[in-house]
Chain A
Amino acid sequence: MSCHTVKSKNERERIKEHLTIALVAQPNTGKTTLFNTLTGAHAYVANWPGKTIERMEGIFTYKGKNIKIIDLPGIRSLSTLSQEETIAKEFILSGEYDSLIVMVDAETLEKSLYFAVQILEATNKVVIAINKYDEAHALGLHINQDKLQSELNVTTLLISALRGLNINQLIEKTIEVASQKRSPEPAIVINYGILETFIKKISDELKALGFSKDTSRIAAVRLLEGDTFLVRNLDEEKLNKILAYVQQARQEAKERTGFSCEEIIVMSRYKLVEDIIKKTSTRVRVATKAFTESLDRIMLRNFFVGLTFSSLILFSILFFSFSINTGFPLNYIIRALGNEELASLIEEYSLSGILSNLFGIFSVTLESLLHVLNAPYWFIDLTINGVVQGVSAVLTFLPLVFIVNLFMAIAEDSGLMSRVAVVFHRLTSVFNLSGKAVFPMIISLACNVPGVLSSRILENENERIAVSTTISFIICQARLVVLLFFVAAMFYSPLVQSLVTITMYFLSIALFLLSYMFVEKFVLKSKEQAELFIEMPSYHIPSLKVVSWIAWERSKSFITKAGTVIFPMAIIIWALLHIGPSGYVETPNLSFGKMIGDAISKMFVLEGFSKWEIGLALLTGFIAKEVIIETLAISFGTSNPSEAISMLSLSPASALSLLTFVMLYTPCVATVAATYSETKSIKMTLISVLTSLSVAYIVSLFMFYIFSLI
């Protein structure tokens, strides 16, 4: 926050154009703490207009905007009556501000959210700040911010006024709300059940007297609660008429339900609040301090012990999620143990096995349907081989992305992940990378798109950008599919197969670290050292609710990021393969794609795999890496990918070199899109693509020469 503060009274008056923001909270929520954090020592005392009561105000500028912040007296409820509280309430209902920051105490969530809901019934020019989240979270409270925000219909942030957590975001969001020119509307409309008919009657009367639709409803509700503030300007005759209605409603409600109007209103509100809390938050039991300390002694005291445990945790996450998803490496292990049947069963009933069967059925059904509808041949081809294939390629990865995120969320939520990051920091800091980077690295092993997106957990800006530019070196599952196909077709000995596979993984991780270092040091010219500074929450049993929130949130961003680019790209690539100089063509041999493939393959003369089929496959591999196999099969007119690889008839050195190139070059358009969305920089996105292309080229050439010598 750049607090350029204005001290003299003259200067203060000169600033006419400012946004007025008021802080509202129940006593003891941390309002004073927040006010001081926002204004620093530059607050001053002013008088309420026309009153002798004082109020605190502060002025500061933030990104060129002048902000006046008013500290309202703490109020318990909108229905209470001390003089100070009345002033605050009237101020809130009067709407003489650009936005309100309504503070909620995370430690007394129910009571304090009730208070906020009362305000939200009147206006949505509000940002809700859930304060003391630091302490409440440490005690096991989890709040789903996005969900709470959509329940409350206004921007909602989890903050700590004491620690300064999310304060800048709070200022930014509040300014955003304050700058909107719309007039306030109720954020929340509560159903008051039996009172609704009276509310309608009274608000109809008020509407007839010129009240707006929104104001008349809230005025009616407040009247039934005994608050006449909103109708204060009516003349006595009209007011009495309205009050007569209110009186009648009170009586009837009492007779029919045995409850007073106030009671019904309060109960309805509390019910809403309870529902919201149930839907958006959860409490977990945290481990005792002694437990946390003893587990930390294992994880953190001795590096090698910690490293063993941390590696085991990460290895199990990958092993289980990969096995559930593709059967790998479980199928290999079982096959090696001699149980072929079980191995194939695992492959068939792995998630991606089931999914690709489903997509197969869908695609066949759709195709015959299109035939029946007499759709033109090119259209059927475009739909089935272009769109459906491209989209299903991405969707097949959804379960994997979800599962890895789920396991990672469990490790994260239990408190283990932060210890793993501390342990790994010792290794990654050699590359000036903080230990938290194991997080995007592990997720990238599943899929680069969420991998890039998860670089957000890195706090240092240069580090975050350098990681999202280079992390795509890490071999994802799509590339693993290609890797396994190539290795199986090229080498016979299982030992060599595994050796090549493992080497590729190490190579890709090493190249990530090196190019990270290069980008961080020479492109971003960072001078900062990767410092270790990691908060370690108390261990606790992960809550299913929290873990599924996290996993779903991250998988959702995978769908939107990958899904939006894959659709047009699938169409473009299809067009390249099916349109040639002579118009629509059925075989790729006559297409523009072949010409491009030809041109691309010219670059690989040195490595000895200069074939147009390969050039084309490298181009289509840009949609999604596993498409490479498919393209090769189509170009050679076979349905067996291993056969296609044999038909390339490459020397072992060329084959290894090709494989290296495929593993290292830009993974796919979806990853490029993710890189752009994380770095928000075309330059960095280009650097990302160029780095991976050139590194892939150089390393694969190198591979070719080394293995030609052997």
Chain B
Amino acid sequence: MITRLSLVEGGKVVRIVSIEAGIGLARRLMEMGMFIGSIVTVVEQSYGHIVVDVKGARFALGRGMANKIVVEVIE
């Protein structure tokens, strides 16, 4: 199922399909290990942010940013 990271509920594992962001943002995401094909575990959706686990590292990601990341739910 293709959706946006901001809409995926906690506990799901997704694969990044595309990142609809400017170079600056895409690059920051990349530096933290999030690029097309990366596997991301959504830990929790919270009030203004979403907590994700990428290769063992945890990140808090703003809704706006998560909305620009298109993902495929894999489990």
Give me the interface of A with B, judged by CB distance under 8 Å.
Answer: 134-135, 138, 162-165, 292-293, 296-297, 300-303, 418, 422, 425-426, 429, 459-460, 528-529, 531-538
Q: Across the interface, do B43 and A293 meet the contact criterion of CB distance under 8 Å?
A: yes
Q: Across the interface, do B46 and A532 meet the contact criterion of CB distance under 8 Å?
A: no
A residues less than 8 Å from B64 (CB atoms): 529, 531
Which residue of A162, A164, A460, A532 contacts B48 across the interface (Cβ within 8 Å)?
Answer: A532
Q: Across the interface, do B33 and A163 meet the contact criterion of CB distance under 8 Å?
A: yes
Which residue of A164, A296, A429, A460 contacts B51 across the interface (Cβ within 8 Å)?
Answer: A296
The residue in chain A whose Cβ has the minimal distance to the Cβ of B56 is A138
CA distance A28 to B42 in the complex (A): 30
Which residue of B43, B55, B56, B61 contacts A533 across the interface (Cβ within 8 Å)?
Answer: B61
Q: Across the interface, do B57 and A534 meet the contact criterion of CB distance under 8 Å?
A: no
Say what secondary structure dominates the interface of chain A: mixed
A residues less than 8 Å from B47 (CB atoms): 301-303, 426
Q: Does B72 contact A (CB under 8 A)?
A: no
A530 to chain B, nearest CB (A): 8
A residues less than 8 Å from B28 (CB atoms): 459, 533
Given the known inter-chain contacts A163-B33, A300-B44, please indicate yes or no for A536 contacting B65, CB distance below 8 A.
no
CA distance A302 to B44 in the complex (A): 12
A429 to chain B, nearest CB (A): 8
B residues less than 8 Å from A297 (CB atoms): 44
Since A162-B33, A531-B25, A537-B57 are in contact, a sample of 20 more A-B pairs with Cβ atoms closer than 8 Å, ordered by chain A residue number, is A135-B56, A138-B56, A162-B55, A163-B33, A164-B30, A292-B58, A293-B43, A296-B44, A296-B58, A297-B44, A301-B47, A418-B60, A422-B49, A425-B48, A425-B49, A426-B47, A529-B64, A534-B60, A536-B58, A536-B59
Q: Across the interface, do A138 and B59 meet the contact criterion of CB distance under 8 Å?
A: no
Given the known inter-chain contacts A529-B64, A531-B25, please indicate yes or no for A300 contacting B49, CB distance below 8 A.
yes
A residues less than 8 Å from B75 (CB atoms): none
| Chain B 32-75 interface residues, beta-carbon cutoff 8 Å to A | 32-33, 43-44, 46-49, 51, 55-62, 64-65
CA distance A297 to B33 in the complex (A): 24
CA distance A538 to B43 in the complex (A): 14
B residues less than 8 Å from A533 (CB atoms): 28-29, 32, 59-62, 65
29 A-B residue pairs with CB within 8 Å: A134-B57, A138-B57, A162-B33, A162-B55, A163-B31, A163-B33, A164-B30, A293-B43, A296-B58, A301-B44, A301-B46, A303-B47, A426-B48, A460-B24, A531-B62, A531-B64, A532-B48, A532-B49, A532-B60, A532-B61, A532-B62, A533-B62, A533-B65, A535-B58, A535-B59, A536-B51, A536-B58, A537-B57, A537-B58
The residue in chain A whose Cβ has the minimal distance to the Cβ of B60 is A422
CA distance A628 to B57 in the complex (A): 50
CA distance A460 to B46 in the complex (A): 24
Which residue of A162, A422, A532 contacts B65 across the interface (Cβ within 8 Å)?
Answer: A532
The residue in chain B whose Cβ has the minimal distance to the Cβ of A164 is B31
A residues less than 8 Å from B25 (CB atoms): 531
B residues less than 8 Å from A460 (CB atoms): 24
CA distance A135 to B49 in the complex (A): 24
B residues less than 8 Å from A528 (CB atoms): 24
A626 to chain B, nearest CB (A): 40
CA distance A426 to B60 in the complex (A): 12
A residues less than 8 Å from B24 (CB atoms): 460, 528
B residues less than 8 Å from A531 (CB atoms): 25, 62, 64-65
The residue in chain A whose Cβ has the minimal distance to the Cβ of B61 is A533
Tally inter-chain residue pairs, CB-CB below 8 A: 76
B residues less than 8 Å from A535 (CB atoms): 32, 57-59
B42 to chain A, nearest CB (A): 13
A137 to chain B, nearest CB (A): 9
B20 to chain A, nearest CB (A): 13
The residue in chain A whose Cβ has the minimal distance to the Cβ of B43 is A293
Closest 10 CB pairs of A and B: A532-B62, A422-B60, A536-B58, A164-B31, A531-B65, A163-B33, A534-B60, A303-B47, A531-B62, A426-B48
The residue in chain A whose Cβ has the minimal distance to the Cβ of B68 is A531
Given the known inter-chain contacts A164-B31, A459-B28, please indicate yes or no for A300 contacting B58, CB distance below 8 A.
no
A424 to chain B, nearest CB (A): 11
B29 to chain A, nearest CB (A): 8
The residue in chain B whose Cβ has the minimal distance to the Cβ of A536 is B58
CA distance A429 to B64 in the complex (A): 12
CA distance A460 to B64 in the complex (A): 16
CA distance A566 to B57 in the complex (A): 44
A residues less than 8 Å from B33 (CB atoms): 134, 162-163
B49 to chain A, nearest CB (A): 5
B residues less than 8 Å from A425 (CB atoms): 48-49, 62
A655 to chain B, nearest CB (A): 43
CA distance A292 to B60 in the complex (A): 14
Residue with the highest number of chain A CB atoms closer than 10 Å, among B46, B55, B64: B46
Per-residue A-contact encoding for B6-25, CB less than 8 Å = 1, 0 else: 00000000000000000011
B57 to chain A, nearest CB (A): 6
CA distance A576 to B67 in the complex (A): 60
A residues less than 8 Å from B60 (CB atoms): 300, 418, 422, 532-534, 536
A residues less than 8 Å from B30 (CB atoms): 164
Residue with the highest number of chain A CB atoms closer than 10 Å, among B30, B43, B60: B60
CA distance A293 to B44 in the complex (A): 10
A528 to chain B, nearest CB (A): 7
B residues less than 8 Å from A529 (CB atoms): 64
CA distance A528 to B32 in the complex (A): 19
CA distance A425 to B47 in the complex (A): 12
Residue with the highest number of chain B CB atoms closer than 10 Å, among A135, A300, A303: A300
Q: Across the interface, do B51 and A300 meet the contact criterion of CB distance under 8 Å?
A: yes
CA distance A594 to B19 in the complex (A): 63
B74 to chain A, nearest CB (A): 21
CA distance A292 to B29 in the complex (A): 23
Residue with the highest number of chain B CB atoms closer than 10 Å, among A297, A429, A534: A534
Residue with the highest number of chain B CB atoms closer than 10 Å, among A292, A296, A528: A296
Q: Across the interface, do B46 and A300 meet the contact criterion of CB distance under 8 Å?
A: yes
B34 to chain A, nearest CB (A): 9
A residues less than 8 Å from B43 (CB atoms): 293, 296
CA distance A534 to B29 in the complex (A): 11
A residues less than 8 Å from B58 (CB atoms): 292, 296, 535-538
